[in-house]
Structures are given as structure tokens and as C-alpha cells.
């Protein structure tokens, strides 16, 4: 059984937003939820690290686990 259309779109977004940039940059991938206290606590630290190393090609990509359930489940 193949992927649903929504799952295919999620995979394409992930490829475009995360996989392709990771070919030339270090990607910090943050799986988060708006309701998650620990996610909110660590977010400023991840943003700071990404900003401090942006000139070295580090980028922060965020995946909302409530919006991207299929992608989050793969990890």
C-alpha cells in the first residue's frame, strides 16, 4: 500500500525544507509542539546556536509534530 496524497506532500515538504538544505549545510532539526513545555524551553537555545553558527552554514528547521504527524512518526 502506498502513501496517501497528504503523506506524499509531507515527504516532499520535508525533502525541500530539510533534506535538500542538509546537502550543503548543517541542519539542526527541532521536532516541537506548541503545547510542549520542554520544547518551548529548549527553543531559544537552539535558535541561539543556529544564529551563532549561521556564518558556518548552520540552519535551524522546525517540524511541528501536530501538523506533520507522518514525518514525526518516521523519527
Residues involved in catalysis = 36, 39
Distance separating alpha carbons of residues 11 and 48, to the nearest angstrom: 28
- The C-alpha angle 44, 50, 51, rounded to 5 degrees, equals 85
Q: Is 43 exposed, middle or buried (0-12, 13-18, 19+ CB in 10 A)?
A: middle
How is residue 20 written as a grid cell? 535538500
Amino acid at each position: 500500500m502506498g502513501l496517501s496524497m497528504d503523506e506524499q506532500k509531507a515527504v516532499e515538504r520535508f525533502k525541500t525544507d530539510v533534506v535538500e538544505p542538509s546537502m550543503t549545510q548543517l541542519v539542526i532539526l527541532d521536532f516541537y509542539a506548541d503545547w510542549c513545555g520542554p520544547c518551548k524551553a529548549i527553543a531559544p537555545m537552539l535558535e541561539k546556536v543556529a544564529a551563532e553558527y549561521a556564518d558556518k552554514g548552520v540552519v535551524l528547521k522546525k517540524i511541528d509534530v501536530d501538523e506533520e504527524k507522518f514525518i514525526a512518526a518516521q523519527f
